[in-house]
Structure 1
Amino acid sequence: MQPRKTDLARDALQAHRAPLDMRQRRLLILCDGQRDLAQLSAMIGPEASAMVIQLIQAGYLVSTAPAEPAPAAVPVASPTLAAPAPAASAAAPVTERRRSMVAARIYLLGILELQRHPQAAALLHALQQSRSDDQVIAALHNALDALPGLTSPGYCERVRQRLFEVLPESHLAQLEQAGVVAG
């Protein structure tokens, strides 16, 4: 199964009005129709299968392959466990364990993909073409500098905060030296 976003999901990600927690939003950003359930589970964690089923049922995702009976049977017992618990209590420890340059890059690629602006498309391309950590940091820096001109201030600040949640501490220091991190 290779889930991909529906128009409802794109609207929800762009408008921030859907009742989605942070992990569901991250999963939606990653669901591009190219990654299968195993890849998503490696990026998000073992609960990705249950979250995908929940998001399909809610109309945020569609499967590009026929639904398989095994994944559908697993979340039947776990949707009630997956939704309330991570959203309230485990959010902070999970983000500390999941800091990575790849997660930060994928998150910002998803954000730039949502922007319907030529400058965002150019920034997206530059970030996609970045190979070394220094190139990625420079592309992240450029995108964060340009984002206030492309979106509302509140949205820009939320993107900045969430990016800093997943970016490794050592790379946060690099952005701080470049003047991107406030404080």
Structure 2
Amino acid sequence: MQPHKTELGHTVLQTHRAALDLRQRRALILCDGKRSLAELSGMLGNDVPELIAQLQRDGYLQVEAPTAPAAKAQAADPAPAQQPHATAPATIPQQAPVERRRSMVAARIYVLDILALQRNPTAAQLHKLVQAAREEGDTVQALKLALSHLPAMTSEGYTQRVRGRLQEVLPETHLAAVLEPAPLPA
């Protein structure tokens, strides 16, 4: 089963108007019709079936019905995404106490995704800069530079949502360094 975005899913990613949290947005970006649930679980964590089911219920994702041989195999072991009400109550209490970790890698991937969505030559250059940053200090500077240029590429509201999501994933030791407002270079 390989979930892919619906027209609504594509529109939401391009317009940035939906109230998706960071994990939902990341899952929506990664669901390209080529990755299986197992691959997505490896990238996003064990709660992917519930996350995919929620995005599917909201109309952002579509999962094609499996062919006849695959349907028989899944009948023996039904996927949680196809029966969300049956597995959700048992899984949700296990996931609730897990605190999301903060990491530079998550922040870097998020900013790379945001820059990739912008149709702007400056965004393309910043994407290359963030992608090339390997040392922690270089990554902090690249993230700060990208964030300082974002208001020129998109709306103030969208910029604030990006800043808010970065506050969720950046390690606390780097919050001030990255999120401190910096004037745009002239």
Tell me what 1:50 maps to: 50
Tell me what 1:156 maps to: 159
Is 1:76–2:79 an aligned residue pair? Answer: no
The structure having more radius of gyration, on CA atoms, is: 2
- Is the contact made by 1:50 and 1:79 (CA closer than 8 Å) also made in structure 2? no
Which blocks of at least 5 consecutive residues in structure 1 are unaligned?
A: none
Tell me what 1:11 maps to: 11
Q: How far apart, in 1, do the equivalents of 2:28 and 2:138 lie?
A: 26
Matched ranges for 1:27-42 at <5 A? 27-31=27-31, 36-42=36-42
**1:79–1:142 distance in 2 versus 1, CA, 3 Å:** farther
TM-score normalised according to structure 2 size: 0.71
Query: Between Structure 1 and Structure 2, how many residues are aligned?
Result: 171
Aligned to 2:50, what secondary structure does the other structure show? Answer: helix
Aligned to 1:165, what secondary structure does the other structure show? Answer: helix
Aligned to 1:98, what secondary structure does the other structure show? Answer: coil
Letter in 1 for 2:84: S
Matched ranges for 1:87-106 at <5 A? 96-106=99-109
Q: How far apart, in 2, do the equivalents of 1:73 and 1:47 lie?
A: 12
Aligned to 1:97, what secondary structure does the other structure show? Answer: coil
Taking only the aligned residue pairs, the percentage that are identical comes to 52
Matched ranges for 1:59-138 at <5 A? 60-61=60-61, 69=71, 70=74, 73-78=79-84, 81=88, 96-138=99-141
| Cα displacement (A) at 1:122 | 1.0
Q: 2:149 aligns with which of 146, 149, 153?
A: 146
**1:121–1:4 distance in 2 versus 1, CA, 3 Å:** farther
Letter in 2 for 1:51: L
Which blocks of at least 5 consecutive residues in structure 2 are unaligned?
A: none
Letter in 1 for 2:162: V
Tell me what 1:25 maps to: 25
Q: How far apart, in 2, do the equivalents of 1:123 and 1:34 lie?
A: 27
- Is the contact made by 1:30 and 1:110 (CA closer than 8 Å) also made in structure 2? no
Q: What do the CA deviations read for 1:84-123 (whole angstroms, capped 9, x no partner)?
A: x79xxx5xx76x5221111111111111111111111111
Q: How far apart, in 1, do the equivalents of 2:9 and 2:83 lie?
A: 24
| Cα displacement (A) at 1:25 | 1.6
